[in-house]
Structure 1
Amino acid sequence: MALESNERPDQSIAKFESMLKTDDVYFFDAEDFEDIIHHYLNNGKITLAKKAIRIGLQQHPGSIELKLLDVEVLVFENHLDQAEQYLDELQLLDSSNEEIFIQRANIFSKKDNHEAAVEFLNKALDLTDNSFDIYSLLGMEYLFMDDYKLAKESFMRCVDFDEQDYSSLYNVIYCFEFLEDHDGAIVYLNDYLERNPYCEVAWHQLGKQYIAKNMLSEALTAFDFAIISDDTFIGAYFEKGKVLEKLGKYNEAIENYETTIQMEDPTSHAYLRIGKCYERLENDEMAKYYYYHTVHEDPLLDKGWLAITDFYYRRKNYKKALFYVNKALNIDGENPQYWKKCAMINFALERYDQADFSYKQAVDLGNYELGTWLDWAEVIKRNDDLPGAIHVLSQGQEFYPDNAELKYKTAGCYLDMNDTINARICLIDALNLDFKKLDAFKQEYPQYAATDWLRGIVAKIEKSLR
């Protein structure tokens, strides 16, 4: 039995699915099939989309639009050679169909040939007045090519076409940020807001740009306007709280974070920020209360465990700090900052072997900060391994060849080994790099501060610096 279907798309979809459950055959217009297929593709129901394409082409074998949807699915499933062959056939039938060039662009994009993809998308632009989707695709290709200037221009075209296209608006601002052009982003957003004064998304993004410029009062104003535009916009309350924190207005910041908790299910990030505010207000009990709420809400949030670690570390309760940093490491054992914190705690507990191991882990995972090399060398020195300390300091000098502190410390280690020749070489290098840090060296190695050996070297360097 064949039935015609001129109903709305949702009715067509319901009728199509009813047909699949029975032996009846319903007739649909080609446009109905297009709506049905788009519905399934947009909802990720590829199997149903393929069934609709197959049945659609049985009823409308000459429909180029249905064949192009077939190509789209082939591209999605990475059957690229088959899709290209299909497109060659379609181009012979309709060489002015922009969708053919769009699908060719998709194929080249999947092959990581983004220059060719851009070329085909530009050909598609020449064939249609409806260019919104093409500019969006162009923007993505330029992002793949790291050409943020052209990507920005393409996404701007999308926003010009549809000022409610927030996805493109976000991409425009992303490009500005990557180009480190915060001033340009501010000008662009203010211009956009002249036309759309109640767009909470734009106010929110403007506030973030002001934060990047450290224009905190302007950022607060922007977030206030975002809230006026949409008083349920949680992101604006949260960002406003962060700005208030930076301004030292911790009670007001807490109010904004609490608003986000009242409006939606509590989040561990909101609890964490509230805890930090209370700690800065020196309300330790409330700080602990919210820190523990943070990890209760999300036991896998390593930053929550680290916040508790820092809380106890600052109060010199190193045993508890060690317990909680190990919690953070159990969640993210590849985080070099956590290993460094673990090393600092073990050092404070005079567990030098464990501190040595933790510093090694931190460095192996990519922490090459100056303080890491200096502190690690000190740990090894406390373990009575002066050659090991010198080796670590030499590694640090590879990253900081012009740093005087590393040279001074190396000189001190050589002096402790009674190797005055190498100590003299390192000390002369250190004095030439930064003579003013000599006082710090004398404080760290007071046993050598008043020696004739040191006075002689210092006098020689002073003379050469005059």
Structure 2
Amino acid sequence: MEEEFYFDFSDDAQRSVERYEEMIRNQDQYFFDAQAFENIIDYYIDKNDPVKALQVVEYAISQHPYASVFLVKQAQLFYVTDQFERAFLSLQKAEMLEASDADIYVLRGNIFNTLERYSEALENFQKALEFAETTDEILLQIAYVYQNMLDYENAIVYIKQSLEQNMENKDGLYELAFCYDILDKQEESIKFYQEYIDNDPYSYAAWYNLANSYHKLELYEKAIDAYDYAILIKDSFASAYYNKGNALVQLDRFAEAIEVYRQTFEYEKPNADTYCAIGECYEKLEKMDEARSYYKKSVKMDPNMADAWFGIGVTLNFEERYFESLHFYKKAVELDAENPDFWFAIADANYKLGQIEQSVEAYYKVLEYNPLDVEAWLDFSTVLYEQGKLLEASEAIADAIKNNPDSAELYYRMVAYLFAMGEKNEAMVYLETALSADPEKHHILFEYLPQLQENASVLQVISRYIK
């Protein structure tokens, strides 16, 4: 007959774990009170060992068959190991023992949410609200369901209700910012965070989200001020430093941005994104050696950092090392094959190396991925024009106009090509359109074909638009 021992270690979690493991080693049978079992289960959950945790639950249920808490724990462990039907069965048993336990309905709601059975998830969360003493987290769970349903308006309603109960809930603040961002309601976001800060001026998360909303509205000075308040409240807030750096970049304050980016290293390990951002700042300051150094640090840390590979190419291009730059541009495009900026750089480098066919192929890629890039259309047509392919150049501009009907530059370029092809009547029609779009840019025409400054017909039409 097995010897049975009783140990009450509910106040000593570690001791409970040690005695439990001793029991397993000895293949013995000890008795633990409910709190001790909870401590042991939580210990294995914290160690990310659901198998052992489930074994403890089995022991706990056998010794405390009427304690619903262990059935809920069991359901939780079945849930995290994707055993959903077994989780539902455990919750059903728990509900029979203690139907007023809010945790039962919260967990069941989470499982239904995972299974995309949203109406059943909402039904269980609403039931949990009836029994729970504190409901801010449950309200947030309801918001998550609405987010999964892509109903961000309702998600906002429940997040706000959650925050009314617990203003310290940082997750709620960030989720609210996410919803406002998805709905592109930055003004409403700003209004909410301003009101929130009036009630809790020391919430670094609220200042941070307010700053992000200003940033998205391109109110960079206000964003920087708000980031500064977030940093003042929490000086180790690395994300606030990083985003402040991004705002400074938008204002072309690159030297300041570098210093702010570097401050993130005091509070978190350097990462590839920050190294790349610093590299870009040095690039904009035309300090190419420093820029290249940081871009190299970025790709060393993350070889899949396409922007950093591209940045190395940009620094080499600046130094007219076009052949070398191509190698790095191609590395970037291998990682991000649909990035039009990368293809544009490849097209330009090939052109400078006299590799016209490769340049034209790259321009086709640029315009495939970004047909709204007016500069790319103009450069592409120039390459064709310089090769004596006047018809192809004019056809390229015709395609460009279809994609960018409001761009005066394209109409002026078409005028130049049509004159070069001897199509004077059609050229004059395009000239009228160009002048209607933007008469102040008529000088573009003369920059491209200076001889038209002596064309009386052209000057006469222009005079009607220019006083």
Do 2:31 and 2:63's aligned partners in 1 also have CA atoms closer than 8 Å?
yes
TM-score (norm. length: structure 1): 0.79
Q: Which of 334, 338, 345 pairs up with 1:341?
A: 345
Residue in 2 aligned with 1:6? 9
Instruction: Give the whole-Å Cα distance in 2 for the aligned partners of 1:436 and 1:250.
Output: 32
Do 1:254 and 1:277's aligned partners in 2 also have CA atoms closer than 8 Å?
yes
Residue in 2 aligned with 1:171? 175
Residue in 1 aligned with 2:329? 325
User: Helix, strand or coil: the match of 1:27?
Assistant: strand
Residue in 2 aligned with 1:208? 212
Closer, same or farther: CA 352–155 of 1 in aligned 2, 3 Å: same
Show the 5 A alignment for 1:291-370: 291-314=295-318, 316-365=320-369, 368-370=372-374
Q: What letter is aligned with 1:337?
A: D
Q: What letter is aligned with 1:16?
A: Y
Show the 5 A alignment for 1:80-229: 80-84=84-88, 87=91, 91=95, 94-194=98-198, 196-229=200-233
- Structure 2 stretches of 5 or more lacking a match? none
Closer, same or farther: CA 380–33 of 1 in aligned 2, 3 Å: farther
Give the deviation of 1:76 after TM superposition: 3.5
Instruction: Give the whole-Å Cα distance in 2 for the aligned partners of 1:397 and 1:333.
Output: 25
Instruction: Give the whole-Å Cα distance in 2 for the aligned partners of 1:362 and 1:399.
Output: 14
Deviates more, 1:382-391 or 1:41-50: 382-391
Do 1:336 and 1:367's aligned partners in 2 also have CA atoms closer than 8 Å?
no
Give the deviation of 1:141 after TM superposition: 0.9
Q: What letter is aligned with 1:19?
A: M
Closer, same or farther: CA 128–232 of 1 in aligned 2, 3 Å: closer
Closer, same or farther: CA 385–134 of 1 in aligned 2, 3 Å: same
Give the deviation of 1:302 after TM superposition: 2.4
Give the deviation of 1:23 after TM superposition: 0.5
Give the deviation of 1:12 after TM superposition: 3.0
Give the deviation of 1:133 after TM superposition: 2.7
Do 1:373 and 1:392's aligned partners in 2 also have CA atoms closer than 8 Å?
yes
Give the deviation of 1:244 after TM superposition: 4.3
Instruction: Give the whole-Å Cα distance in 2 for the aligned partners of 1:371 and 1:125.
Output: 58
Q: What letter is aligned with 1:139?
A: A
Closer, same or farther: CA 26–133 of 1 in aligned 2, 3 Å: farther
Closer, same or farther: CA 222–437 of 1 in aligned 2, 3 Å: closer
Give the deviation of 1:354 after TM superposition: 1.1
Q: What letter is aligned with 1:234?
A: A
Residue in 1 aligned with 2:58? 54
Closer, same or farther: CA 355–218 of 1 in aligned 2, 3 Å: same
Closer, same or farther: CA 340–191 of 1 in aligned 2, 3 Å: same
Do 1:352 and 1:380's aligned partners in 2 also have CA atoms closer than 8 Å?
no
Closer, same or farther: CA 396–151 of 1 in aligned 2, 3 Å: same
Q: Which of 10, 18, 25 pairs up with 1:21?
A: 25
Deviates more, 1:281-290 or 1:99-108: 281-290
How many residue pairs get aligned? The number is 462
Give the deviation of 1:97 after TM superposition: 3.9
Closer, same or farther: CA 442–255 of 1 in aligned 2, 3 Å: closer
Give the deviation of 1:51 after TM superposition: 1.7
Closer, same or farther: CA 113–402 of 1 in aligned 2, 3 Å: farther
Deviations 1:193-233 (A, max 9, x none): 45554444343333333434444444444333333333333
Closer, same or farther: CA 392–217 of 1 in aligned 2, 3 Å: closer
Deviates more, 1:243-252 or 1:340-349: 243-252
Closer, same or farther: CA 149–11 of 1 in aligned 2, 3 Å: farther
Instruction: Give the whole-Å Cα distance in 1 for the aligned partners of 2:351 and 2:110.
Output: 56
Instruction: Give the whole-Å Cα distance in 2 for the aligned partners of 1:449 and 1:399.
Output: 29
Give the deviation of 1:373 after TM superposition: 3.6
User: Helix, strand or coil: the match of 2:30?
Assistant: coil
Q: What letter is aligned with 1:4?
A: F
Closer, same or farther: CA 219–402 of 1 in aligned 2, 3 Å: closer
Do 1:337 and 1:367's aligned partners in 2 also have CA atoms closer than 8 Å?
no
Give the deviation of 1:295 after TM superposition: 4.2
Q: What letter is aligned with 1:230?
A: K
Closer, same or farther: CA 337–50 of 1 in aligned 2, 3 Å: farther
Pairwise CA RMSD: 4.1
Q: Which of 232, 239, 242 pairs up with 2:236?
A: 232
Do 1:352 and 1:382's aligned partners in 2 also have CA atoms closer than 8 Å?
no
Q: What letter is aligned with 2:317?
A: Y
Closer, same or farther: CA 366–11 of 1 in aligned 2, 3 Å: farther
Give the deviation of 1:181 after TM superposition: 3.6
Deviates more, 1:321-330 or 1:266-275: 266-275
Instruction: Give the whole-Å Cα distance in 2 for the aligned partners of 1:398 and 1:115.
Output: 47
